[in-house]
Structure 1
Amino acid sequence: MKLKIITFGLALLSMASCKKILDPEPENLKTLDQMYNDANFAQGFLMNAYRTIPTYYDNSDYATDDAVTNLLNNTYLQIATGSWTASNNPTSVWNQSYEGTQYINLFLENSNKVKWAADPEASKLFNLRMRGEAFGLRALYLYFLLRNHGGIASNGQLTGVPILTEYQSGQANYNIPRASFDACVKQIHKDLDSAELYLPVEYNDIATGVAVPDRFKPYTQNRETYNRVMGQTARLLFNGLIAKAFRARVALLAASPAFQNSSNTTTWANAADYAGAVIDYKGGVNGLPANGWTYFTNTAEIDAVGSGVNPPEMLWRENIVTNDGTQEGLHFPPTLFGSGNMNPTQNLVDAFPMANGYPINHVSANYNAAAPYANRDPRFARYIIYDGSTAGVSNAVIRTGSLSGTDNGINTRSTSTRTGYYMKKRLRMDVNRNPNSLTGKNHYNPRIRYTEMYLDYAEAANEAYGPSGTGTRSYSAYDVIKAIRKRSLNLNTDPYLEECRADQVKMRELIRNERRIELCFESFRFWDLRRWKVDLPKLNEITRGLDVNAGVYTPFNVETRNYQSYMYYGPIPNSEVLKYNQLIQNQGWR
């Protein structure tokens, strides 16, 4: 296993001999012993683990039926069209995850010796909190490793990844076999147990010492001490609620068809229960944020966010970035001075229902192929720029037809759309990319949205109990999907949902489609298709576009996918398999 020697600042951390890290020791390099009396240095190990958390917007959508890109050398485009190998794998999180785990394990093995604060109560509480963060982050990294690299190994067994719970020194044995998939899931839950034990559900200030949660009273009953450590200044760090969300994520993965196996003990009921715990905390079905589906363009809300506070839709997010227009520069159409990188497909456009809630191919849809954008689900116009829609600070009309005479037309230039569509989701329309009047706005990237948790529950509950069954909760998959659709469709009655209510299979397809729409361009689709183990023809569905010229709508094929049957599971990096004979590759990968 490739575990790079960890670097922190000017310190080179190689536990090759005792506690001295580098010999001879230049003045500007720190030893491990200095960690014990330098709280900032000690916390730095944990902060490095935060810095390598996989990005939320990784643009893996380019390799799905939802989007293509005009970046013809993009690695996701390459893997979708036949170049995905164990040596060429942009989905790999192997190195960054094990490096993050190395930082975490080193931290956990030494944090009890650190003087975190002069005040003994605060010092104990700081250690407790940061150990909770560390356990949570270790679970996070193992989840991403399992999702991206777990699968059916060449020996035919459902297999996970190597589990590391101790720091690996320079003399350690790196030739570690992969643990079973189930063992990895259990290790994640074990670390999340520790995280929830050591952390508050959320970081909030309290008004009196009496309000210190009971499990923290053995450490302090002082309001100022509690707020210093567990109060609002710690917001955006890993907390107990995030641990609950990752429980739901890993259970949904493990319960999915691609990982169902006699050696895997996770059930759909488990996944529903864990997602339900988050929904209950949020306030049940009625707690679904009403404006969650437009989180990226709730401009007044975004501009008012501060002090680590989350908007209602965000369970966890990254820091606010001010005066920023990076996403808009990458994805605006060319006439708005963007590079138009993310091109939604006609495949995705067709997934949006009509405003009456019916799929466009339903007998009751009232879909008109001669006016395909009329009377569609409001999410369509919010998420996708199509021919004739407006965008940008000036509400410019965007024409995408190949004969439109504008740079926005299909394949007109290297930054033009390849499908007849541009992405609108994730972007603020009040950003101006004109070099003569460049203005950015506040942005943040999500890490976990509440809507994801609601969708997780709906999927798991439908599989476990059917559309209307509630299991251990007071609401069903039907109830959750009804709430999700109502906030955007705003229907008094939803006849298509009622039609699906009586049929678990139809409800499954509706839930999957709602997930596709609600989470489009957020890097879920690539992994959802695989954990569902959709038929290979679906995985290889040709991406399509629509050319609009003078009122004539001409469909065309854009890109052929070339996935093989073994590509439901990602590979172990080939370089690691070559080095370590205990590390078995997944089936089919070379």
Structure 2
Amino acid sequence: MKKIIKSSIITLFALSLVFSTGCEDLFEPAIENHKVGEDLKEMPSWALGLLGHAYISNPLGSWSFNDVATDDAVSNLPSNNYRLMSTGAWSATYNPMDRWQYLRASWQYLNQFLAIVDDVHWADDPLASQLFKERFKGDAYGMRALYMYHLLLHHAGPSAADGKLLGIPIVTEPEDLYNTEFNVPRDSFEDCIKRLFADVDSAILYLPEDFGNVEKDVDVPAKYRDRGIKADVYTRIFGDNVKNRMSAKIARAIRAQAALLAASPAYSEGSGIDWEDAANYMAEALITGLGSNPVGNIDPSGGEWYKDNNAINNLKAGQNPKEILWRSNKEQNANLERDNYPPTLFGSGRINPTQNLVDAFPTINGYPINHASSNYDPNNPYANRDPRLSRYIIYNGSTAGTNNTIINTSADSPDNNGINKIETSTRTGYYLRKLMNPVVNANPSSTNNGWKYKPFIRYTELFLGYAEAANEAWGPTSDPNGHGFTAYDVVKAIRVRAGITGGDVYLESIKDDKDAMRELIRNERRLELCFEGVRFWDLRRWKVPMEKLTETAKGVRISGTTYEVIDVERRAYKEHMYYGPIPFGEVNKFSELVQNRGW
């Protein structure tokens, strides 16, 4: 069965201008801006348009706020896709998580590029041409690995036919209308992971660890210096102008994330990857990125990377803070604040943190609030809490905005910030603070924008990934492979950075208890990565009990000095929803394309 898809005939003139190869007079405009594969061999900027499409389609490029589909948040917008999805609308025909066609179409661009990259005239200098070729190939392989990871996140699952864990159809050659058979089965999850790892290996082979100018020949990385490459040629190909493109460090991090997914309970039986593999890959990504003592190099301000407006403004193109491995370009706006600030700060209050999440923050001494030693006071619930609570969530009595306005979320609030006052009020008694830039004034008549960027990969996520995998593989305090740090070391460093005081007696009390440490690590992921689109996937890859997946989202109704926990939104997930579906339209068209079980 054949299917019409985007052919190799492309219109990419505008896109190609974004991507510079450092070569002069790379192309002459044709009478019509339509090119096929053979034409592109002498038109490198046009050929780069194929690779450029991978960045336009980057699945990490925008905030999803799929936290609304978990126990961490709800939305006050009735039409919010994740709200509808989590309350019963999720199906193979209605899937806000669908990435099947979008990412596979972009995968096709990468395959088209890899098919011609060796034949394109990248530069007159043979050495420079070879280095351009290697850089672009490594870039394409790394981005294809990223796409595979996200396609597996969204669509891998057990076959409806026999329960075998499946991924996607692995396609590594360009498809065309006349010669391609499109009715092909999905490959196994294990084979998809192997393909991802192979693409990462290729990216590492072809790419430097980082990009950046070098002034002296001796500073050229050894893998290039040993080939006789001088500083001027290296800088031309791998210099500052291509920072924040796919690098060997980024590719290693993608492999580590994929290994963590593959080792997790929902996927481990069909992946060929275990916790030790995942821990080793995470350690490699951290050591390569931050040096031989990564825990000692943890960014002290990494938990609030979004907050310092001046620091973000002063970031040079491609420059990253210590917390960030990969990010978007910075931009100046007030979009997040307009969407999420309380009504009196000219916001729409869209994302409402839940009482469930608030209760997950320990007290200042590190104990969970339900522990006898926590000193938690239910009549004064926000006192003596983990400082991350006030950093990430606006609760009753918090101040927010450029004028430090007191926010009253109570039922008897005199303004529209109170719970359920108007359509833009909170439904839970809480508003979102995390990700907000404190210099922003969202008032439409006197807007003050703030500088922002979207992190693609944060080192904190990798640290916590290592802690999880290492704890499962070797226990909290063991380091049999000599990485130089343990799961316990990571958790301790993150909680010290958070502001836990008193020596963190709770952590010390469980440092030899693998099961208790597992729960603590999972909770630290919940806190550190909240509202960054991580928990939805965590709950599923952990295959938490169904009662946890369907836990009712709760809020708090405050009246005077009374705090009443209330049910806000029930979840309607079913057993098969640990995994997402293949789009119904695709399964309906292709007989070989097997749906995931239950969909």
Q: Check the 8 A contact 1:121/1:219 in 2, yes or no.
A: no
Count the aligned residue pairs: 575
Q: Which amino acid aligns with 1:551?
A: T
1:476 paired to 2:506: no
1:271-310 mapped onto 2 (5 Å cutoff):
271-281=278-288, 282-283=290-291, 284-310=294-320
- What is the aligned counterpart of 2:56 among 40, 47, 51? 51
Structure 1 residue 56 displacement after superposition: 4.9
Q: Check the 8 A contact 2:361/2:368 in 1, yes or no.
A: yes
TM-score, length-normalised on structure 1? 0.95
Measure, in 2, the Cα distance between the counterparts of 1:312 and 1:264. Answer: 32
Quote the residue 2:581 is aligned against. Answer: 571
Counting aligned pairs with the same residue, the percent is: 46
1:316-335 mapped onto 2 (5 Å cutoff):
316-322=326-332, 324-335=333-344
State the secondary structure of the residue aligned to 2:555.
strand
- What is the aligned counterpart of 2:438 among 422, 429, 453? 429
1:109-508 mapped onto 2 (5 Å cutoff):
109-154=115-160, 155-171=162-178, 172-217=180-225, 221-261=229-269, 263-281=270-288, 282-283=290-291, 284-322=294-332, 324-472=333-481, 473-491=483-501, 493-508=503-518
Measure, in 2, the Cα distance between the counterparts of 1:354 and 1:471. Answer: 33
Structure 1 residue 502 displacement after superposition: 2.1
Structure 1 residue 405 displacement after superposition: 2.1
1:89 paired to 2:98: no
Measure, in 2, the Cα distance between the counterparts of 1:417 and 1:471. Answer: 49
Q: Check the 8 A contact 2:556/2:564 in 1, yes or no.
A: yes
Quote the residue 1:78 is aligned against. Answer: 84
RMSD: 1.7
Q: Which moved more, 1:482-491 or 1:236-245?
A: 482-491
Q: Which moved more, 1:61-70 or 1:543-552?
A: 543-552
Quote the residue 2:6 is aligned against. Answer: 5
State the secondary structure of the residue aligned to 2:92.
coil
Structure 1 residue 351 displacement after superposition: 0.1
State the secondary structure of the residue aligned to 1:530.
helix
Quote the residue 2:40 is aligned against. Answer: 35
Check 1:219–1:115 CA distance in 2 against 1; reply closer, same or farther (3 A cut). farther
Measure, in 1, the Cα distance between the counterparts of 2:343 and 2:10. Answer: 41
Q: Which amino acid aligns with 1:585?
A: Q
Measure, in 2, the Cα distance between the counterparts of 1:578 and 1:295. Answer: 45
Measure, in 1, the Cα distance between the counterparts of 2:158 and 2:72. Answer: 26
Quote the residue 1:14 is aligned against. Answer: none
Q: Check the 8 A contact 1:334/1:340 in 2, yes or no.
A: yes
Residues 400-454 of structure 1, C-alpha deviations (whole Å, 9 max, x = no match): 1122021111111111111010110011011011112111111100000000000
Q: Check the 8 A contact 2:365/2:500 in 1, yes or no.
A: no
Quote the residue 1:17 is aligned against. Answer: none
Residues 69-114 of structure 1, C-alpha deviations (whole Å, 9 max, x = no match): 0111111111100110011111111112111110100000001111
In structure 1, stretches of 5+ residues that fail to align are 12-24
Structure 1 residue ranges, 4+ long, deviating more than 6 angstroms after superposition? none
State the secondary structure of the residue aligned to 2:568.
strand
Measure, in 2, the Cα distance between the counterparts of 1:31 and 1:218. Answer: 37
Q: Check the 8 A contact 1:356/1:489 in 2, yes or no.
A: no
Quote the residue 1:544 is aligned against. Answer: 554
Measure, in 2, the Cα distance between the counterparts of 1:26 and 1:570. Answer: 46
Measure, in 1, the Cα distance between the counterparts of 2:318 and 2:196. Answer: 27
Q: Check the 8 A contact 2:437/2:451 in 1, yes or no.
A: no
Structure 1 residue 553 displacement after superposition: 1.2
Structure 1 residue 490 displacement after superposition: 4.6
Q: Which amino acid aligns with 1:307?
A: A
Measure, in 2, the Cα distance between the counterparts of 1:4 and 1:275. Answer: 37
1:524 paired to 2:548: no
Residues 342-363 of structure 1, C-alpha deviations (whole Å, 9 max, x = no match): 1000000000000010000000
Q: Check the 8 A contact 1:468/1:501 in 2, yes or no.
A: yes
Measure, in 1, the Cα distance between the counterparts of 2:236 and 2:172. Answer: 30
Q: Which moved more, 1:349-358 or 1:37-46?
A: 37-46
Structure 1 residue 190 displacement after superposition: 0.2
TM-score, length-normalised on structure 2? 0.93
Measure, in 1, the Cα distance between the counterparts of 2:316 and 2:101. Answer: 33
Measure, in 2, the Cα distance between the counterparts of 1:490 and 1:531. Answer: 29
Measure, in 2, the Cα distance between the counterparts of 1:237 and 1:438. Answer: 33
Quote the residue 1:581 is aligned against. Answer: 591
Residues 173-197 of structure 1, C-alpha deviations (whole Å, 9 max, x = no match): 1111111111010100000000000
